[in-house]
Amino acid sequence: MVDPLTGDVYHRTFVWPIAGLVAQRLEEGRSISQEQRQAELQRHRCEVTGLKAAYQHVLKVVNADQPHADVYQQVLAFVRTRRRSRTPRILLLGPPGSGKSHQARLLSQKYKMVDVCCGRLLRSVAADGSAVGEEIQSYLDVGRPVPDSLVLQVLEERLSRVDCSCRGWILHGFPCDLQQAKSLQEIHPPNRVFFLELTDEVCVERISLRATDPVSGQRFHAVTRPAPSSEVQNRLKTRPEDNTHSVTHTLSQHRTHTAALQCVYPHAGRIDADQDPHSVFESLESRLTAD
């Protein structure tokens, strides 16, 4: 039965309106054929297993074959117990060489969160042959920055996927300035932010130890992530942007925007990144599990 004024749905046996006036105006709801009903149920049975798998981290199964008030109480109790358990949306900020990628990988491996490196994501989209990818590739080919509008479009699509929604994510490589931070707040605001702090001198020293495998495209580091074999080590190449002059210029730009980013995230945690990667990870982990 349907209330023609509100559109609320009632049932003769299980859910009947308390107000007599509402009960008097109820009308028969739109009925569908038995075949249509069976088709809807069949479709549900086909999809429900995948839906349960997608939301397994936040799932509560409730037996609906009982009074609706009992179902409501069970759902309410579950929501209340989960209220403080937020899906992690972690943002790692810091100068080049501070170890953001390495720490994101460690967090992802241990807590199964999605590691979202902005630069890697843009290169992946550029290689997929889509219209957006071709547009991004046109900027990468000439070494120009990808416009914020394109970056945000790609980020919004990636952070909206089921794996990010259910397992949470760790973003690094974006934002780099005030406007980017404000734009991120509008589409997918992080709920935990950390600044990995490191001096320029140490940053330059660390970046000079980075090299890229031209075969796999993977980046290695002589200290924090050495090449897995001598064969890979012998073919590693240092990128032009990792030379001292380029790094110094990039660090200067980063310092210019750091104060503005700190204003956007005034409650961000500060992590001393001038220590071994394991100690940095322990500091991050202790902050994440404190709340």
CATH number for the domain spanning 279: value is: 3.40.50.300
pLDDT tier, 100 (very low <50, low <70, confident <90, very high otherwise)? very high
Tell me: pLDDT of 20 over 90: no
191 vs 289 pLDDT, higher one: 191
Verify that 198 and 135 share a domain, yes or no: yes
For residue 136, is it within any domain?
Answer: yes
Tell me: pLDDT of 85 over 60: no
Tell me: pLDDT of 98 over 90: yes
For residue 197, is it within any domain?
Answer: yes
Verify that 131 and 26 share a domain, yes or no: no
pTM of the predicted protein model: 0.67
Two tokens, residue 147: 């416009």
State the total domains in the chain: 3
For residue 143, is it within any domain?
Answer: yes
Verify that 40 and 25 share a domain, yes or no: no
The pLDDT of residue 183? 95
185 vs 83 pLDDT, higher one: 185
Verify that 125 and 259 share a domain, yes or no: yes
Two tokens, residue 100: 């953001």
CB 95 within 8 A of CB 176: no
Two tokens, residue 255: 């310092």
The pLDDT of residue 155? 97
The pLDDT of residue 49? 87
Side chain identity, residue 205: E
Contacts of 289 (CB under 8 A, 6+ apart): none
Verify that 140 and 180 share a domain, yes or no: yes
For residue 221, is it within any domain?
Answer: no
Verify that 182 and 167 share a domain, yes or no: yes
Verify that 142 and 270 share a domain, yes or no: yes
6 vs 158 pLDDT, higher one: 158
The pLDDT of residue 94? 95
Q: End of a domain among 67, 82, 97?
A: 82
Tell me: pLDDT of 81 over 70: no
List, for residues 222-260, the tens digit of each pLDDT value: 877 889 999 999 999 888 777 788 889 889 989 999 999
Verify that 64 and 185 share a domain, yes or no: no
Verify that 57 and 148 share a domain, yes or no: no
Quickly count: other Cβ atoms within 10 Å of residue 112's Cβ. Answer: 12
CB 239 within 8 A of CB 251: no
For residue 222, is it within any domain?
Answer: no
DSSP category for residue 225: B
Contacts of 62 (CB under 8 A, 6+ apart): 71, 74, 75, 78
Cα–Cα distance for residue pair 114/151, rounded to 1 Å: 18
For residue 189, is it within any domain?
Answer: yes
Verify that 16 and 59 share a domain, yes or no: no
Helix (H) or strand (E) holding 232: helix 230-235
List, for residues 139-193, the tens digit of each pLDDT value: 999 989 999 999 999 999 999 999 998 899 999 999 999 999 999 999 999 999 9
Q: 8 is in which domain, residue-wise?
A: 1-31
What is the Cα 227 distance to its own chain's centre? Answer: 28
CB 176 within 8 A of CB 64: no
The pLDDT of residue 234? 92
List, for residues 256-282, the tens digit of each pLDDT value: 999 999 999 999 999 999 999 999 999
Most distant CA pair in the chain: distance in Å?
Answer: 84
pLDDT tier, 78 (very low <50, low <70, confident <90, very high otherwise)? confident
Q: Which of 39-53, 71-85, 123-137 has the lowest mean pLDDT?
A: 71-85
CA dihedral 119, 289, 192, 282 (to 10 degrees): -50
The pLDDT of residue 291? 58
CB 237 within 8 A of CB 211: yes
pLDDT tier, 82 (very low <50, low <70, confident <90, very high otherwise)? low
Cα–Cα distance for residue pair 193/266, rounded to 1 Å: 9
For residue 178, is it within any domain?
Answer: yes
Cα–Cα distance for residue pair 111/41, rounded to 1 Å: 36
Cα–Cα distance for residue pair 256/94, rounded to 1 Å: 12
Verify that 5 and 116 share a domain, yes or no: no
Verify that 132 and 186 share a domain, yes or no: yes
For residue 234, is it within any domain?
Answer: no
pLDDT tier, 132 (very low <50, low <70, confident <90, very high otherwise)? very high
Q: For all residues of the chain together, what is the average pLDDT?
A: 89
Tell me: pLDDT of 57 over 80: no
